[in-house]
Structure 1
């Protein structure tokens, strides 16, 4: 029993009963996940480079990386194409979320018959603008990729 009261005393006095413990723990958890992801990616890069160095040490030609293959063939890397597709998908999702928020607040204003609720529709303009920016970026990347492909094919002809 005295051990339990001592533990309760330490818990109470240490500040762990603060209402901010949950948000702080959540932020620390997110920080831990980010650090683990960075460490994992660095570890994977280190293992790939070690494998390539071992191939070179044995006198075996290491296989080309995806970037080297793309450079040899004059095509955009799969990473650039995948990145463009991911940006387009993100743009569509965020744009749809913005439209959904605006529609929600307009419908809520109509249901409640209160005009002040329409100010919440302005919240939807932020993701709407971000989504449009993503889609514009995708369009610009597509143009750049087509221009680089056409310039590389015209240099092949000459």
Structure 2
């Protein structure tokens, strides 16, 4: 009887071990399967992110090309971008501070525009142009006088 109970115990233990093995296999395979799904989901996300970045890169390249076509000065001054001591040294300037300064100056300009009579500005520019014309005419008249004097002196020398 003792032998039979030992046999039953070993069979029970054997069944328990087989059950544990099966449970471990199914648990491990379920976890492995869920890990596999998780990693495949990560791969899909990364692939979508790569596609999105490629599209953004193409869009940015097109924008740069359009800017180069529209503004010829970019090509001429491209070598100065990012160099210290130039107007294009962006590391030494704080964009927020520059933005605030720009907004302040724009507000000041719009305030001045309200106080300044635009007709007077146009009249002033016209008067300034007329003054410059008169100066150039005066210079031309002076040069004409000198030319006439030189011609008289030369005529006198040639005829005498």
Structure number with greater Rg is: 2
Higher relative contact order (CA 8 A, sep 6+): 1
TM-score computed with the length of structure 2 as normaliser: 0.27
TM-score computed with the length of structure 1 as normaliser: 0.27
